[in-house]
A and B are shown apart, each in its own frame.
Chain A
Amino acid sequence: MRLRTLKLRVFAVPVVALTLLAACGSDGDKDIANTQPGATGTVTVFNAMEPEEVTALQKVVDEQINSKVQYKATIEGSSQFEEQIKIRVQGGNPPEIAMYPQPGTVVELGKSGKAIALEDMGFNIADMEKTFGSYFMSLGAYNGKHYGVPTNINLKSMIWYPKKAFDAKGYKVPTTFNELITLSDQIVKDGTSPWCVGFESGTATGWPATDWMEDIMLRTAGAPTYDKWVTHQIPFNDASVVKAADQFGRILFTPSYVLGGAANTTSINFGDAVAPMFTNPPKCMFNRQANFIASFFPKTAVAGVDYDWFPFPKMDQPGDAALFAGELSVVFKDTPAVRDFLGRFAGTEVQCASGRSIGTSRISPNVNVGGDCYANKQLADASKVLTAALKANTARFDASDLMPSAVGSGSFWTGMVKYVQGGKNALAGVLSDIDKSWPTA
């Protein structure tokens, strides 16, 4: 069942997203919903954000929304989001709005009738597709109706490097994977391990490795094959997946490439993994991680001086690909206040304000939010890369968040851990195990 909806979802993506994106700048400033009469009461927005993020976003909401309306919107973050939201929704006590990082769950909510379709609340889907791109909108669609409003997006295809030491050595930012390998060899020759890698993340250990796989898959096999992979139209041990894993293995298993050796990476916390990049001299030159990793950097490190990032380089496919993750806001209680809040919150004005707030570090999925809305160059650059890839229809959502959770939050993580620990010989077994774990119904 799940499989079918995923297929539907992916094939419903019109390739015209781009043209629309380019065209919408002119009328983009109008909010996607008008102020509702009788919008009073409270709106609770439940999500998985970090505490600092919640505080910063609440401030934006207070200034931009609560001060102008008759209701009060509260942002509530939880480190236990996944478990909590499931209990609250199934227990009949959901918040008004929840921001889901996993589109697959949003589709399930639509299917089970727990979520309220945007169409039924009077949102103009055509307008929204212009604002957010139809690929992102389609991720939360089931049976022709849409259940999720994109309210956040973050770029995963980023490689961070210690800029000062990197420049001092005379290294050049690579634009192709082969250049990246050549440069890595050069760094080894210069006596440093090029890569800092950490896959440990408690119970979710292995997820950073799935991001690697996805980034490479998107660039070796291309977006259409990536979509088939996500929906299990090709087996998980398909030749294209094997090829991507082999490329990943070139980084992992080449001697001296990975600081501490590949087998240890599953014991190194992904947040701790960046530390050697900031010693003097740095013990490694690269760390591939999403934009949030900057919050793990030493507080004294200055963006653009001590560190910077470049996009994950091109591989076999032409064009700039981008792997991203994000949130879809789902409505559980349809009130005038909720409609009004969503309209304002996803609108350009509030999104721009939230981009400008340093504490939120949020990138807006709203394409009308220009680069000048962002607090720093790093975020603005990331948003530029995202927009470009969305235009080329080569931007894809994190595959593990789209796959059924038994795979995407289970066997895929575990399988990657086994691959990293077991080396190249373990690959065939790992991929076929993941394939077998795919739910049949």
Chain B
Amino acid sequence: MSSSVQTPPRGPILVPEPPPPGHARSLRATVLRVVGAVMVPLLAVGLLWWTLDFLRDSDANRFLVVGVALVVGVLGVFGLFWSMNRVVDWLPERFQEGARPYVFVGPALVILSVFLVYPVINTILISFKDAQSKSFVGLDNYKFVFTDESMLRSIRNTVGWIVLVPLVAVTVGLAFATLADRLRRGEAVAKSLIFLPMAISFVGAAIVWRFIYSFRPEGFGTNIGLLNGIASGLGHDPVPWLQERPWNNLMLMVIMVWMQTGFAMIVLSAAIKAIPDEIVEAARIDGASEMKVFRHITIPTILPTVVVVTTYMVINALKVFDIVFVMGNAEANGTEVIAERMIRWFFIGDNNGRGAAIAVVLFLAVIPVMYWNIRRFREQEAIR
């Protein structure tokens, strides 16, 4: 890829920073710098605080709130990074290289620690406690997770979800992105239609699939579900699709594939379009078939993106809950999945300990995926 992209333009857009302060500088300049180093971030924080106070006022005019929020969101956050970067500039030179990365990753790490890491620790803690999180019960909750019949079924089903859903969604997404790229007209429309399900809220999606799977036995009126409409059109009896074990699991996976393929398609399509035309054209001129171009140029170039998309799909399939949850009594239908069990025990079964222990199983399940990712990224950095 590097061969095709030209050297960036020099000059006006890359203004070098002023040289760092030398010993010869006057005392006044040093004082000014120190004062500046303190004042700039203080002002930034003060400004953020003031807007925070304003934004906390829930009675304020909505338009004004959106406006201020936009300004704070764009300028405020940028200003925060900018002023932190300035502070690093005023540090002694030998510390600068060490400190600067933390200016860049710092805000992300702080937010993630508070909003995600802390809850994870909290979850791990209560997974060793009883239903009301009062006293420690050792490994009891984990024993439940790995012995309860319904839990074991949910683990089995989840394995099915994390294999099948990413496989189908990524394959269809990649195929569609590749083929749509070759359309002369209508690419935008075709891609938008695949993407459409992502724009539907889950409440809406539940209705969408009700019109597919709905079942009415003899006497309860005409079937309004498409599948049973087709079945009766072919002279079959209507089928309670969501009760037919084990196929009902597949019926539910179809919903997730339907919702998520758009994501895979869009991201992969962006990656395909980022492949420089020159490379593809060169290969074609050399007489490579379309299949060869796909296998030897497209796939290797977008492989990192395929990994990213697959990882995201696997994690999402691991976390799937609402589809299973609203589409019937999972335990009675044999469609339990891990995250659905977690919600059920935590929020409905009133058992914090069991719910948390199931969540910890989810955390652990992601480790192999992450290990695979580390290796991919090491490889990528070695070759770029």
**Which residues of A pack against B, CB within 8 Å?**
82-83, 86, 105, 108, 112, 193, 200, 202-206, 259-261, 264, 266-268, 272-273, 275-276, 283-284, 404-406, 409-411, 413-414, 417-418, 421, 439, 441
A410:B215 contact, CB within 8 angstroms? no
Q: Please, which residues of chain B bring their CB within 8 A of the CB of A283?
A: 219
Task: Give chain A nearest CB distance to B57 CB in angstroms.
Answer: 16
B349:A405 contact, CB within 8 angstroms? yes
- Residue from B132, B326, B327 with most neighbouring chain A CB atoms (10 Å): B132
B347:A86 contact, CB within 8 angstroms? yes
Given A86-B347, A266-B329: 4 more A-B contacts, CB < 8 Å: A266-B243, A266-B332, A267-B215, A418-B332
How many Å lie between the Cα of A264 and that of B218 in the bound state?
10
A414:B328 contact, CB within 8 angstroms? no
How many Å lie between the Cα of A273 and that of B217 in the bound state?
11
Task: Give chain B nearest CB distance to A40 CB in angstroms.
Answer: 17
Q: Is residue B141 within 8 Å, beta carbon to beta carbon, of the partner chain?
A: no
- Residue from B131, B220, B348, B349 with most neighbouring chain A CB atoms (10 Å): B220
Q: Please, which residues of chain B bring their CB within 8 A of the CB of A406?
A: 345, 349-351
- Give the residue of A203, A267, A268 whose beta carbon is less than 8 angstroms from that of B325: A203
- Give the residue of A268, A413, A418 whose beta carbon is less than 8 angstroms from that of B217: A268
- Give the residue of A200, A284, A404 whose beta carbon is less than 8 angstroms from that of B328: A200
How many Å lie between the Cα of A273 and that of B221 in the bound state?
10
Query: Could you show 10 A-B contacts with beta carbons less than 8 Å apart?
Result: A82-B347, A112-B132, A203-B329, A266-B240, A267-B215, A272-B216, A283-B219, A405-B350, A411-B331, A421-B332
Q: Is residue B242 within 8 Å, beta carbon to beta carbon, of the partner chain?
A: yes
The residue of chain A having its C-beta at the shortest distance from the C-beta of B206 within the complex is A202
How many Å lie between the Cα of A202 and that of B327 in the bound state?
6
Q: Please, which residues of chain B bring their CB within 8 A of the CB of A267?
A: 215, 217, 240, 242-243
A260:B130 contact, CB within 8 angstroms? no
Q: Please, which residues of chain B bring their CB within 8 A of the CB of A108?
A: 132, 350
Q: Given that A112-B132, A268-B216, A441-B131 are known contacts, is A417 also in contact with B329, CB under 8 Å in the complex? A: yes
B217:A264 contact, CB within 8 angstroms? yes
Q: Please, which residues of chain A bring their CB within 8 A of the CB of B331?
A: 410-411, 414
A276:B219 contact, CB within 8 angstroms? yes
> What class of interface size applies to chain B in its complex with A?
20 to 34
Q: Please, which residues of chain B bring their CB within 8 A of the CB of A264?
A: 215, 217, 240
How many Å lie between the Cα of A267 and that of B329 in the bound state?
10
The residue of chain B having its C-beta at the shortest distance from the C-beta of A413 within the complex is B329
Task: Give chain A nearest CB distance to B346 CB in angstroms.
Answer: 8
Task: Give chain B nearest CB distance to A14 CB in angstroms.
Answer: 29
Q: Is residue B191 within 8 Å, beta carbon to beta carbon, of the partner chain?
A: no
The residue of chain A having its C-beta at the shortest distance from the C-beta of B325 within the complex is A203
Within B350-373, the residues touching A (CB, 8 Å) are 350-351
A259:B326 contact, CB within 8 angstroms? no
Q: Please, which residues of chain A bring their CB within 8 A of the CB of B347?
A: 82-83, 86
Q: Please, which residues of chain B bring their CB within 8 A of the CB of A272?
A: 216, 220
Task: Give chain B nearest CB distance to A204 CB in angstroms.
Answer: 7
Within B292-347, the residues touching A (CB, 8 Å) are 325-332, 343-345, 347
Q: Please, which residues of chain B bring their CB within 8 A of the CB of A413?
A: 329, 332
How many Å lie between the Cα of A57 and that of B76 in the bound state?
44
How many Å lie between the Cα of A106 and that of B170 in the bound state?
47
Q: Please, which residues of chain B bring their CB within 8 A of the CB of A409?
A: 348-349
How many Å lie between the Cα of A259 and that of B216 in the bound state?
11
The residue of chain A having its C-beta at the shortest distance from the C-beta of B135 within the complex is A441
- Residue from B329, B331, B347 with most neighbouring chain A CB atoms (10 Å): B329
A268:B350 contact, CB within 8 angstroms? no
How many Å lie between the Cα of A284 and that of B218 in the bound state?
12
How many Å lie between the Cα of A187 and that of B41 in the bound state?
83
Within B216-263, the residues touching A (CB, 8 Å) are 216-221, 240, 242-243
Within B269-291, the residues touching A (CB, 8 Å) are none
The residue of chain B having its C-beta at the shortest distance from the C-beta of A265 within the complex is B217
B329:A204 contact, CB within 8 angstroms? yes
How many Å lie between the Cα of A441 and that of B131 in the bound state?
9
How many Å lie between the Cα of A283 and that of B242 in the bound state?
25
B350:A259 contact, CB within 8 angstroms? no
How many Å lie between the Cα of A166 and that of B348 in the bound state?
41
The residue of chain A having its C-beta at the shortest distance from the C-beta of B352 within the complex is A90
Q: Please, which residues of chain A bring their CB within 8 A of the CB of B131?
A: 439, 441
Task: Give chain B nearest CB distance to A398 CB in angstroms.
Answer: 16
A205:B220 contact, CB within 8 angstroms? no
Binary CB contact string for chain B from 53 to 70 against chain A (1 if under 8 A, 0 otherwise): 000000000000000000
How many Å lie between the Cα of A283 and that of B218 in the bound state?
10
B332:A202 contact, CB within 8 angstroms? no
